[in-house]
Amino acid sequence: MTDKLAHFVSQAPFNPMKVDELTPEQEKFYMASQWKMMWWRLRKHRLAVWSGAILFVLYASILVSECIAPYGLHTRNADFIFAPPQKVQFFHEGEFIGPFVYSLDYRLNMEILRREYADNQDVVQPLRFFCRGDVYEFW
């Protein structure tokens, strides 16, 4: 049992003051902060990167949401306050006219005391982007 195994014991003399030279790649890895290593790891995960980008866009839109909203915070249309959401249409009578909604008509049902809304397909209300609305005052 006096034989030493070659892979456990080195026959070369040990010098504790000797420092191994690092390659630039090893040095980059060993000198990186934890934030940088987490960033490298996150970049490999494609879904996380796309989710982060979408989340950034949503948070950025919060900053300008009041400026681009067509109506003020306290503006109400009392005739349609309980109206259901409308489906956005693109084709009217088989013809493409862009995004629009049909006008709503309502009548008061006296039996159940509720407003009943119905689409008026004769009147088309086009959806407009960057349209004129209430005046906005910054803060």
Backbone angles phi, psi at 126, to 5 degrees: -70, 145
Which pLDDT score is estimated for 63? 86
Residue pair 77/133 in contact (Cβ under 8 Å)? The answer is: no
Q: What is the pLDDT of residues 92-123, one digit of tens each?
A: 999 999 999 999 998 999 999 998 999 999 99
Write the DSSP string, the chain: --PPPTTTS-SSPP-TT--PPPPHHHHHHHT--HHHHHHHHHHH-HHHHHHHHHHHHHHHHHHHHHHH-SS-TT---GGGTTPPP---EEEETTEEEEEEEEEEEEEEETTTTEEEEEEEEEEEEE--SS---S-----
Measured in whole angstroms, the distance separating CA 35 from the mean position of its chain's CA atoms is: 23
Which pLDDT score is estimated for 4? 61
In sequence order, the β-bridge partners of residue 58 are none
Which pLDDT score is estimated for 75? 84
- Checking if the pLDDT of 124 tops 90, the result is yes
- Which of 10-14, 61-65, 134-138 is most confident? 61-65
Which pLDDT score is estimated for 112? 92
The more confidently predicted of residues 92 and 20 is: 92
> In whole angstroms, what is the distance from residue 42 CA to residue 122 CA?
53
Which pLDDT score is estimated for 120? 92
Q: What is the pLDDT of residues 23-72, one digit of tens each?
A: 888 889 889 999 999 999 999 999 999 999 999 999 998 888 877 777 88
Q: State the average pLDDT over residues 3-21.
A: 74
- What Å distances lie between residue 83 and 28, 87, 100, CA to CA? 61, 12, 17
Which pLDDT score is estimated for 72? 80
- Checking if the pLDDT of 1 tops 60, the result is no
